[in-house]
C-alpha cells in the first residue's frame, strides 16, 4: 500500500504531481510520501498494540531528518549503527530511551555517545566489544543495558549479500556460546544484560525462517531466566521484505505479527523490532529524466540522469526496481525492450537490461518505484555528481528535505597542498 498513483495521466505523490516536483527540485530526486510512512508505522503499531513493543526504525534504510522526524512524530524509536545515525535520530526528535545501538564495530567514541545520551540498549556482537563497553561505562560511572545479538544459524534474505544469520557471516555471537557470554556479562558491574537480539537478513519474503530464529531466541531467553538472569526484552530484528515487482507477494505485516506472537507464546517480555524497508521501502520513488536515447548494435539505451551513485541497489545486488513513466504513455503505444542506464562511467551503471518500456524520449520523466529504503542512504558523489536531492510530500504540500549541494559545498573539505603554490 502506498500513495503514488496516476491522476489525469501524471503520476502523483499524494496530491503533488511528480512533474511539479521535478520542475521545482530538478532531477534526479527522491520523493517520499508522509502518509505512506505513517501508515506503515501504524499498521505495525496496531498489530502489536496490546503488548509492550518498541518499533525501532532501522535508520540505515532512510536517515533523512525529515523522514525520521515524521516517524518520531508517530512514536517510532530507532535502530542505529553509528554515532552519525544516533545523532540524526536524536536531532529528529526520537528520544534516547527509544534508540537501540546495533553494529559490529562500535568505536569508543560511539559507546561514549550512546552512554552519555542514555540509550535504550546496546546490541553487543562479541566479547571484545562487551569488555570495551564495560570499561567505558565504568570510566563514565554508567551502567550499559545490553542484549547479545545471537547468530542463530538460520539462512534467509533476498540476496546472499543481505543474509546475516549463518556462521560465515560476521554478525552476532555464536549460538552455542551465548550462555557463557551472559555469565561473563553478569559479572561486569557496569553491564546490565537485559535482552537477547537477533536479525537474520533483509528482504525476506516468508516469515518462517525468521520464526525459526525467534524461537531460538525465546528458548534461550527461558534458559537464561531459569539460570537467574533478568532478561526482560527480546529484539527480533528487521528483515520482512516488500514487493519490488508484480507477482512478488511477501508475507504481510499481519502474518508477521501473528507469527511473532506465536513465537513469543506466554513469554512476558518487552518486544523490540527493527523494521527498515517495510516502513520506508514503498514510501519513496526516485524521479529521473531521460537525457538521451541511443540506438546501437541493435540495442536501445535509455540514458537517464540518475546513476548508480543515486540508486545503488541494482548495481550492488542485481535488485529490480519498477521504472514507470511519470506521464502515462499514449493508448496503444507498444512496449519495447530497452536498457535503462545512467551517466556513470561503469558498466554496472545499468538499472535494467532488456526491460520492456513504453516509448521514452529525451526530456521524459520516469519514476523508480519502491526506492524509499536503501536508496538515498546508499547514494554517493561518485563522478563528482552532487548528492541526490530529497523531498517529502504531505497532501498538496511538498518540502525539500535535502537540497542538492553546490559545487563549492562539494569541495569545501578538500584543498591542494601548499607545496604546489610554493613551487
The residue count of the chain comes to: 423
What lies within 8 Å, CB to CB, of 314 at 6+ separation is 308, 320, 321, 350, 351, 352
CA 298 to the chain's CA centroid: 38
Are 164 and 171 a contacting pair, CB within 8 Å? yes
Residue 151 CB, nearest distance to ligand LLP (Å)?
12
In the bound state with ligand LLP, the residue whose beta carbon lies nearer, of 220 and 280, is 280
In the bound state with ligand LLP, the residue whose beta carbon lies nearer, of 307 and 325, is 307
Are 281 and 242 a contacting pair, CB within 8 Å? yes
In the bound state with ligand LLP, the residue whose beta carbon lies nearer, of 199 and 385, is 199
Catalytic residue among 334, 345, 413, 416: 345
Measured between alpha carbons, how far is 392 from 137 in angstroms, rounded to an integer?
Answer: 39
**Residue numbers at the binding site for ligand LLP (CB under 6 A):** 58, 60-61, 79, 102, 162, 199, 202-203, 237-239, 274-278, 313, 317, 373-374
Residue 273 CB, nearest distance to ligand LLP (Å)?
9
In the bound state with ligand LLP, the residue whose beta carbon lies nearer, of 64 and 202, is 202
In the bound state with ligand LLP, the residue whose beta carbon lies nearer, of 151 and 202, is 202
Are 27 and 247 a contacting pair, CB within 8 Å? no
Residue 123 CB, nearest distance to ligand LLP (Å)?
7
Measured between alpha carbons, how far is 67 from 50 in angstroms, rounded to an integer?
Answer: 26
Residue 177 CB, nearest distance to ligand LLP (Å)?
19
**Grid cell in block for residue 230:** 533478568
**Grid cell in block for residue 276:** 527498515
In the bound state with ligand LLP, the residue whose beta carbon lies nearer, of 169 and 190, is 169
Residue 413 CB, nearest distance to ligand LLP (Å)?
26
Least Cα distance to 31 among 66, 71, 69 occurs for 66
Least Cα distance to 34 among 10, 8, 69 occurs for 69
DSSP 8-state assignment for residue 52: -
Are 78 and 100 a contacting pair, CB within 8 Å? yes
Indicate the burial class of 45 (C-beta count within 10 angstroms; 0-12, 13-18, 19 or more): middle
13 given a catalytic annotation: no
Beta-bridge partner residues of 365:
289
- Apex CA 71: angle with CA 68 and CA 74, to 5°? 150
The total of other beta-carbon atoms located within 10 Å of residue 65's CB is 16
Residue 374 CB, nearest distance to ligand LLP (Å)?
3
The answer to whether the Cα torsion of 91, 195, 54, 255 is positive or negative is positive
In the bound state with ligand LLP, the residue whose beta carbon lies nearer, of 34 and 274, is 274
Are 239 and 232 a contacting pair, CB within 8 Å? no
Residue 235 CB, nearest distance to ligand LLP (Å)?
9
Residue 339 CB, nearest distance to ligand LLP (Å)?
22
3-state secondary structure of 348: coil
Active site members: 345
Amino acid at each position: 500500500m502506498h500513495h503514488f498513483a496516476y491522476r489525469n495521466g501524471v503520476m502523483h505523490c499524494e496530491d503533488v504531481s511528480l512533474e511539479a516536483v521535478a520542475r521545482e527540485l530538478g532531477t534526479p530526486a527522491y520523493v517520499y510520501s508522509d502518509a505512506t510512512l505513517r501508515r506503515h508505522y501504524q499498521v505495525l503499531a496496531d498489530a502489536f498494540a496490546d503488548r509492550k513493543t518498541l518499533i525501532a526504525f532501522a535508520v540505515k534504510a532512510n536517515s533523512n531528518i525529515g523522514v525520521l522526524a515524521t516517524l518520531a512524530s508517530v512514536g517510532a524509536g530507532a535502530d542505529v549503527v553509528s554515532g552519525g545515525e544516533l545523532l540524526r535520530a536524536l536531532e529528529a526528535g526520537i528520544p534516547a530511551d527509544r534508540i537501540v545501538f546495533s553494529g559490529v564495530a562500535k568505536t569508543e567514541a560511539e559507546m561514549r555517545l550512546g552512554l552519555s545520551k542514555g540509550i535504550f540498549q546496546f546490541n553487543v556482537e562479541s566479547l571484545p566489544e562487551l569488555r570495551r563497553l564495560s570499561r567505558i561505562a565504568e570510566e563514565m560511572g554508567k551502567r550499559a543495558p545490553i542484549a547479545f545479538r545471537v547468530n542463530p544459524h538460520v539462512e534467509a534474505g533476498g540476496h546472499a549479500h543481505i543474509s546475516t544469520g549463518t556462521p560465515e557471516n560476521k554478525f552476532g555471537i555464536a549460538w552455542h556460546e551465548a550462555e557463557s557470554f551472559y555469565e561473563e556479562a553478569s559479572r561486569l558491574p557496569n553491564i546490565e544484560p537485559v535482552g537477547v537480539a537477533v536479525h537474520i537478513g533483509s528482504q525476506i519474503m516468508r516469515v518462517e525462517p525468521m520464526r525459526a530464529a525467534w524461537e531460538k531466541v525465546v528458548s534461550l531467553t527461558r534458559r537464561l531466566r531459569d539460570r537467574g538472569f533478568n532478561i526482560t526484552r527480546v529484539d527480533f530484528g528487521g528483515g520482512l521484505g516488500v514487493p519490488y515487482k508484480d507477482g512478488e507477494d511477501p508475507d504481510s505485516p499481519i502474518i508477521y505479527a501473528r507469527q511473532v506472537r506465536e513465537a513469543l507464546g506466554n513469554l512476558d517480555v518487552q518486544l523490540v523490532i527493527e523494521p527498515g524497508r517495510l516502513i520506508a521501502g514503498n514510501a519513496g520513488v526516485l524521479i529521473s529524466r531521460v537525457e538521451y536515447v541511443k540506438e546501437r548494435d541493435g540495442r536501445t539505451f535509455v540514458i537517464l540522469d540518475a546513476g548508480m551513485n543515486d540508486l545503488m541497489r541494482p548495481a550492488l545486488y542485481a535488485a529490480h526496481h519498477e521504472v514507470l513513466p511519470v506521464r502515462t504513455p499514449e493508448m496503444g503505444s507498444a512496449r519495447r525492450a530497452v536498457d535503462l542506464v545512467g551517466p556513470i562511467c561503469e558498466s554496472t551503471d545499468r538499472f535494467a537490461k532488456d526491460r520492456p518500456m513504453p516509448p521514452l524520449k529525451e526530456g521524459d520523466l520516469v519514476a523508480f518505484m519502491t526506492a524509499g529504503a536503501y536508496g538515498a542512504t546508499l547514494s554517493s558523489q561518485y563522478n563528482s555528481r552532487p548528492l541526490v536531492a530529497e523531498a517529502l510530500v504531505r497532501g498538496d504540500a511538498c518540502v525539500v528535505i535535502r537540497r542538492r549541494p553546490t559545487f563549492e559545498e562539494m569541495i569545501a573539505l578538500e584543498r591542494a597542498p601548499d607545496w604546489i603554490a610554493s613551487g
